[in-house]
Amino acid sequence: MKKTIFKGIATALITPINESGVEYDKLARLIDWQIDEGIDALVICGTTGESSTLTDKEHREVIEFAVKQANGRVPIIAGTGSNETAYAIELTKHACEVGADAALVVTPYYNKATQNGLVKTFSTIADCSDLPIILYNVPSRTGVNIEPATYAKLADHENIVGIKEANGNISKIVETMALVGDKLDLYSGNDDQIVPIMSMGGVGCISVLSNILPRQTREICTKFFEGDIKESARLQCKYHDLISALFCEVNPIPVKAAMAAMGFCENYLRLPLTAMEDANYNRLINEMRKQGIDV
């Protein structure tokens, strides 16, 4: 088995921004708070970090800043995927140079590559990396699914070590684990499937929920790993309505609103993302209050 990057919960961290750009003082506070709350790793410049609307300069600077701010306290996993393979390679090399611990590489979006194309693309990026790579499968956003047989072809690459699986199809995940469960670490990419995916051998989750409840989200995994499956499942169910509210509009719109309500950032997003609709916002705030969050 290849080296596990982290076990438990990695927060897919928001990026605090305003009209002038990235707010690094607030990003530093967020990173420190997450680490103090016991999070296992941080994903920087992923979907939740609004990587698709950051400039290239911002993207690189945010990764480097997070590495320096974390200062080895937790692994920093840099989002370096792109629909342009050459650019994904550039970002991955940059993450290597600035000291990130791993790269999260999303399926090329919009292009809708064939499975053959996915194998060649991920392999090419991995060939150029000094970092271990987690493949990120999110077909609802990219338009293409990484099939189990494709994972099997990629699993033998020494730099490809894990999967962030957000296809929502448990049957496909079972098939994948039957093929590569001894070669690739599996992480849930959906907060509502942490326990189901761990029951199939998963080692944790790359989470949106943990932006607002890092310690509590981690407890879902901790209880599972301790063998208290019943309590882990209870916690999964406890946060179900809050998770649902966090995804009632496209991520990261709701979580950005939630973090703003908690005082961690401005509720500012770049187009094409816009602020939450009032009814959805009220639902989210109500669910946060039910969980004892001071907003």
Instruction: Tell me whether residue 274 is exposed, middle or buried, using C-beta atoms within 10 angstroms of its C-beta: 0 to 12, 13 to 18, 19 or more.
Output: exposed
CA distance 196 to 188: 9
Q: Cα dist. 131→6, 41, 94, 150 in Å? A: 14, 15, 11, 21
Which position among 26, 151, 153, 164 bears the catalytic label? 164
Q: Match 């699914």 to its residue by tokens.
A: 145
Q: Does residue 266 contact residue 18 with C-beta atoms inside 8 Å?
A: yes
Note if 164 is an active site residue. Answer: yes
Which position among 136, 151, 187, 281 bears the catalytic label? 136
Q: Measured on CA atoms in the order 138, 133, 223, 263, is the torsion positive or negative?
A: negative
Q: Does residue 44 contact residue 80 with C-beta atoms inside 8 Å?
A: no
- 150 three-class SS: helix
State the catalytic residues.
136, 164
